[in-house]
Amino acid sequence: MATYKPQYYPGSTKIAKNRKKYMDPSYKLKKLRTISDDDLVKLMGHRVPGEAYKSVHPPLEEMGEPACPIRELVEPTPGAKAGDRIRYIQFTDSVYFTPLTPYMRAWMGHNRYRGVDIGVLSGRVPLEARERDLEKVAKDLVETEIFDPARCGIRGATVHGHALRLDENGMMFDALRRFVFDKKTGEVVYVKDQIGVPLDKPISVGKPLKEEELREMTSEYRVDGVPFREDKEMIEFIQRLHMLRTEAGFDPNKVKGI
Amino acid sequence: MATEKKMFLEALRKKFKESPEEKYTQFYIYGGWKQSKRKQEFVEWGTKLAKERGIPFYNPDMHLGGIPLGQRVLMPYRLSQTDIYCEGDDLHFINNAAMQQMWHDIRRTVIVGLDAAHMVIQKRLGKEVTPETVNHYLEVLNHALPGAAVVQEHMVETHPGLVADSYVKVFTGDDELADEIDKRFLININKEFPADQAAQLKAAVGKKIYQVLRMPTIVAMTCDGGTMSRWSAMQISMAMVNAYKLMAGEAAIGEFAFAAKHAEVIEMGTLMPWRRARGPNEPGGVPLGYIADMCQASRVKPEDPTWVALEAISMGAVLYDQFWFGSYMSGGVGFTQYATCTYTDNVLDDYCYYGADYVKKKYGGFGKAKPSWDLIKDVATEVTLYGLEQYERYPALMETHFGGSQRAAVVAAGAGVAVSLATGNCTAGINGWYLSQLLHKEEMGRLGFYGYDQQDQCGSANSFSYRSDEGLPFNLRGVNYPNYALNVGHQSAYTGIVQAAHSGRSDAWTTNPLIKIAFADKDLKFDFTHPRLCFGKGALREFMPAGERSLIIPSR
């Protein structure tokens, strides 16, 4: 029997290749910046750095769980073992050449991390997990190549901005102005946490990526970048998917050639 | 389509000071809500009324803990294919009397056949029915229907000044009979419709005669949709007693009531399931094909089926998205932003005309090609890619439709309408919509919000399905269809997909000829021939609705 090799995503263009790359958990995301653990905790705003994790149930070891084959198969995450609360980090990704689109962010997360619950909307992607697990995942999400300080926003609410034009510094709109561009350092600085509560001290998330770098890294098709029209494999794949679904819905016997 | 011909550019230039192609702008400098005249008015009233009532009221400082609305440009909106610009607030149905009246005019209408009643009078009671007796009956009913007594003594009645919009008219497919009906009571098919449409409609109606009954708007405002057929049935029965000198309460009267309440009545909306708990004549029960037929654009500009579909879309947007999903189903202030994108700024118009031109050039006109996979793939893909490329070429357009659900609705509507126009088959059209949604999702890597695009990700499979829980010809679907029950931002376009298939092949109606004729009535308050213009008049506060109570309240 042939060994199954996941393809992750169809398409023949640079954009499709980037999508495959981000979704493939064997690809190691490039680290571009360092955010301290404490700063990340402050940005998310769920607990004060150093504060113990709040729990919603006793540690699993103390709970005397019922006999269950699924429980035997699935190793609980550290946060689940400890009984942590489920908390969130949420991102808004601009339409202007950000590394990840919302669906890519979700599918990448599902392929790479355990114990995460990810939603997808056009203007935001919430990721929920047990609190200590979340902090580990968030580290990847903010420190690596899938985050651009100017065009990705960490926003719990009032996420409006993904489709708006960019400001004079190339920053995505944020009605709450959680992040600002520091002209002296050329870095993006958060002055409020993700839900909009002012921070005691600003937290830098580094310099925005250059436009040409973003165009190389992006998973967004755009007519002023790599147009979707050029990815014929991708278009034909979707058309075939649609035809098969349609025919199966009408009469499953009509579906041939899968 | 060349850049200078793009229909949305003029509106974009009014909405933003920068060129529509410009990718950069400035934020946080517009003065918040003060940039909007309408918000200024709200603040003025909110402040005054808070003092009067002694309870805190509208206060924009409550927004985001003191960060007011308007950190970006609060852009105006153009009612598509009109010269009317307004603020977004003016398109909320609470702030727009024309939108309210459109819904009230639909809700307060029932159609009741007269043939069963005439048969009872002639065969069971042995009395004569002639055009003269019919005219007399209609005069009696025009007295009774608004709320007046016709049989009993010492009755209370309604003030005519409050119910002046209530009346009954009739129509028939029989020209000879129509000639005998008093013109004040007749919806004249020959006069209201182009000749080819009139011929189709008369053939469908035949020699039957139908009453179109409009209950008072004030009743539509204070009671539910289920009231309407009861209100009309009671007044019909009483008018029959009076006009034909019948005994009040004799067994045959029950037949009139049965005919008026059940056998011969056509409600504008069907009963809803208990989990949504609505009676008939509520927005959730109005099928897509009915709202398309209520729209009368097809009889005033039949040579432009794309425009006809766009006018129908605007009605679907207001009824389904703003009233039904935005209020009945969701609660809160509603989904105005989801809905307005389909009838403002000429964006969907541009996409639909692009699709129409493509179809004309490639398939030789409208309704000329049979539905096929090749056609659906070709047309839906082309219009989808065109629509998405416009958002990417014109950042101001992307900012105008700042939510993914708006873009998804508009792009897929263009695709679906184009497939409908090409094939004259709205089931093919809706299949084109679903292909568009899948293409959009992968192209942008984003679509709407969870509740928006869940239906679109499984919609391919039910577009041709006739299985029990899903099976319904597309014309008869609506928000009552299981998969569309949470389908905000879709039904407007679905209305247009139905309409485009039929107007593309010059049909006089889409689903029900009786509905089409019933709304060909100049005495309705809302102008069903030009709904977008009418909504615009509502936005400008130039529309005079019915249902006013000034006669029975203190003067200001």
Decide if B419 contacts B428 (C-beta within 8 A).
yes
Is the complex ipTM more than 0.85? yes
How many helices (H) and strands (E) chain A has is answered by 9, 7
| Distance from the A69 Cα atom to the nearest Cα atom in chain B, whole angstroms | 32
Over 80: is that where the pLDDT of B312 sits?
yes
pLDDT at residue number B443: 98
Contacts of B29 in chain A (CB under 8 A): none
d(CA B187, CA A178): 62
Smallest Cβ–Cβ distance between B447 and the set A104, A122, A173 belongs to A122
Taking CB atoms and an 8 Å limit, are B450 and A120 in contact across chains?
yes
Tokens representing residue B515 in the block: 């509905």
Q: Which residues of chain A have pLDDT under 70?
A: 1
Taking CB atoms and an 8 Å limit, are A242 and B27 in contact across chains?
no
Can you give the three-state secondary structure of B325-384, one letter per residue? HHHHHCCCCCCHHHHHCCCECCHHHHHHHHHHHHHHHHHCCCCCCCCCHHHHHHHHHHHH
Three-state secondary-structure class, residue B19: coil
Best of A107, A242, A254 to substitute, by most chain B Cβ atoms within 10 angstroms, is A242
Q: Which residue of B has its CA nearest to A169?
A: B24
Smallest Cβ–Cβ distance between B446 and the set A102, A228, A245 belongs to A102
The CA dihedral of B280, B283, B287, B289, to the nearest 10 degrees, is 130
Decide if A122 contacts B405 (C-beta within 8 A).
yes
| Distance from the B17 Cα atom to the nearest Cα atom in chain A, whole angstroms | 13
pLDDT tens digits, one per residue of B454-474: 888 889 998 888 765 666 789
Contacts of B398 in chain A (CB under 8 A): 95, 163-165
pLDDT at residue number A258: 74
CA proximity to B447, closest of B409, B393, B400: B409
pLDDT at residue number B2: 52
Over 70: is that where the pLDDT of B546 sits?
yes
How many helices (H) and strands (E) chain B has is answered by 24, 6
Q: Would strands A198-204 and A187-192 be described as parallel, antiparallel, or unpaired?
A: antiparallel
Tokens representing residue B35 in the block: 């940039």
Q: What are phi and psi of B151, to 5 degrees?
A: -125, -45
Taking CB atoms and an 8 Å limit, are A122 and B446 in contact across chains?
yes
Over 90: is that where the pLDDT of B348 sits?
yes
Contacts of B347 in chain A (CB under 8 A): none
pLDDT at residue number B41: 98
Look at A225-239, B21-35, B242-256, B361-375 and tell me which has the smallest mean pLDDT.
B242-256
What's at B59, amino acid-wise?
N
Over residues B309-327, mean pLDDT: 95
pLDDT at residue number A195: 97
pLDDT tens digits, one per residue of B476-533: 999 888 888 878 889 999 999 999 999 999 999 999 999 999 999 999 999 999 999 9
| Distance from the B444 Cα atom to the nearest Cα atom in chain A, whole angstroms | 6
Which ranges of B394-473 does DSSP label H, i.e. alpha helix?
395-400, 404-423, 426-444, 450-463
- Residue B97's contacts (CB-CB under 8 Å, 6 or more residues apart) are B538, B541, B543, B544, B545
Contacts of A19 in chain B (CB under 8 A): 445
pLDDT at residue number B53: 97
Contacts of A167 in chain B (CB under 8 A): 24-27
| Distance from the A237 Cα atom to the nearest Cα atom in chain B, whole angstroms | 10
CA proximity to B439, closest of B479, B408, B414, B396: B408
Average pLDDT score over chain B: 95
Over residues B395-402, mean pLDDT: 98
pLDDT at residue number B134: 98
pLDDT at residue number A64: 87
| Distance from the B470 Cα atom to the nearest Cα atom in chain A, whole angstroms | 10
| Distance from the A102 Cα atom to the nearest Cα atom in chain B, whole angstroms | 6
Contacts of A91 in chain B (CB under 8 A): none
Taking CB atoms and an 8 Å limit, are A123 and B447 in contact across chains?
no
Per DSSP (E only), the strands in A80-228 are 86-93, 117-118, 125-130, 152-154, 179-182, 187-192, 198-204
Taking CB atoms and an 8 Å limit, are A239 and B381 in contact across chains?
yes
Taking CB atoms and an 8 Å limit, are B381 and A246 in contact across chains?
no
Taking CB atoms and an 8 Å limit, are B460 and A95 in contact across chains?
no
B366 pLDDT band, cuts 50/70/90, is: very high
Decide if B297 contacts B307 (C-beta within 8 A).
yes
d(CA B532, CA B317): 11
Taking CB atoms and an 8 Å limit, are A96 and B23 in contact across chains?
yes
pLDDT at residue number B457: 87
User: pLDDT above 90 covers what percent of chain B?
Assistant: 86
Domains and CATH numbers, chain A: 14-51+85-249 (3.90.320.20)
Higher-confidence position of A249 and B295 = B295
Taking CB atoms and an 8 Å limit, are A123 and B388 in contact across chains?
no
Best of B29, B400, B402, B442 to substitute, by most chain A Cβ atoms within 10 angstroms, is B442
Best of B411, B446, B454 to substitute, by most chain A Cβ atoms within 10 angstroms, is B446
pLDDT at residue number B272: 85
CA proximity to A247, closest of B183, B551, B208, B435: B435
**Chain centroid, CA B112 distance in Å:** 21
User: pLDDT above 70 covers what percent of chain B?
Assistant: 98
Over residues B193-219, mean pLDDT: 98
pLDDT at residue number B68: 92
Just list the catalytic residues of B: 152, 338, 451, 487
Q: Would strands B109-113 and B209-214 be described as parallel, antiparallel, or unpaired?
A: antiparallel
Taking CB atoms and an 8 Å limit, are A177 and B395 in contact across chains?
no
d(CA B8, CA B512): 34
Look at B135-139, B280-284, B307-311, B389-393 and tell me which has the smallest mean pLDDT.
B280-284
Tokens representing residue A9 in the block: 């995503």
pLDDT at residue number B1: 53
